[in-house]
Amino acid sequence: MIKHFKNWSCWYRRFCKLLQLILVYSFFSNVSYGQTPLPSNSPIELLVLGSGGPRAEGRASSSNILLINGKAVVLVDAGSGAFVRSGELKLNIDQLELIFFTHFHIDHSADFPALAKTRAQGRTGTITFNVFGPKENIGHPSANQFIAQMFGPGGIFAYQPSFGTPEKFIVTDLPFGLDTQLLVIYDQQGLKVTTIGTNHGPTPSVAYRFDYQGRSIVFSGDTNPSAQDNLIKLSKNADLLVFNCAILDDAGSTAQSSNRHTPPKMIGKIAHEAQVKQLVLSHIMPIVDRAKDQVIKSIGSIYSGKVLFAEDKKTYPLEP
Expressed in angstroms, the distance from the first to the final Cα of the chain is 64
Residue 312 near residue 48, CB atoms below 8 Å: yes
The per-residue pLDDT of the chain, averaged, comes to 88
The residue ranking higher by pLDDT, 176 or 123, is 176
pTM (predicted TM-score): 0.86
8 A C-beta contact, residue 311 and residue 47: no
Q: What is the dihedral of CA 232, 234, 238, 244, to 10 degrees?
A: -70
User: Domains in the chain, please, with CATH?
Assistant: 44-317 (3.60.15.10)
Spatial neighbors of 26 by CB under 8 A, at least 6 apart, are none
Burial 214-234 (b: 16+ CB within 10 A, else e): ebbbbbbbbbbeebbebbbbb
- Report in angstroms the alpha-carbon separations of 67 from 46, 115, 260: 6, 16, 29
Q: Mind listing the pLDDT tens digit for each residue in 72-131?
A: 999 999 999 999 999 999 999 999 999 999 999 999 999 999 999 999 886 778 899 999
Report the relative pairing of strands 167-174 and 127-134 from DSSP bridges.
parallel
Mean pLDDT for the stretch of residues 236-253: 90
Would you place residue 251 in the very low, low, confident or very high pLDDT band (cuts 50, 70, 90)?
A: low
Are the C-beta atoms of 240 and 318 separated by less than 8 Å? Answer: yes
Tell which wins on pLDDT, 136 or 254.
136
Tell me the pLDDT tens digit for each residue of 193-232.
Answer: 999 999 999 999 999 999 999 999 999 999 999 999 999 9
Confidence tier at 163 by pLDDT (50, 70, 90): confident
Summarised one tens digit per residue, pLDDT across range 19-77 is: 454 433 333 333 222 333 444 578 999 999 999 988 888 899 999 999 999 999 999 99
CA pseudo-torsion sign 39, 112, 243, 187: negative
Distance from C-alpha of 149 to C-alpha of 249, rounded to nearest angstrom:
38
Mean pLDDT of 177-198: 98
Of all residues in the chain, the percent with pLDDT exceeding 70 is 85
